[in-house]
Amino acid sequence: MELYFQTKEESNRKQLEDFLKLSKAERFYQFLRLMEKVNQFPMKYKKDSNSNFIIQLKAN
């Protein structure tokens, strides 16, 4: 295992360079993997699987 000490800007630049080295198809698959991982994060509110959106009407 190797440790690298770098600034945030250096780290971001390296990540961008590595990402841009991928083919278009690989970039797309990376995006899909990222979306899958985001769905695994805990959420405060659970989305109702029965509907796409909720309309709430507030009384005056």
| Helix residue ranges per DSSP H, the chain | 8-20, 24-38
10-46: pLDDT as tens digits: 999 999 999 999 999 999 999 999 989 988 888 777 6
Report the greatest alpha carbon distance in the chain. Answer: 62
State the average pLDDT over residues 46-59: 70
- The residue with tokens 């360079």 is 17
Domain boundary assignment for the chain: 8-38
CA-CA distance, 18 to 32, in Å (whole number)?
A: 17
pLDDT at 56: 76
Residue 57 clears pLDDT 90, i.e. is over it: no
Cβ 19 vs Cβ 27: under 8 Å? yes
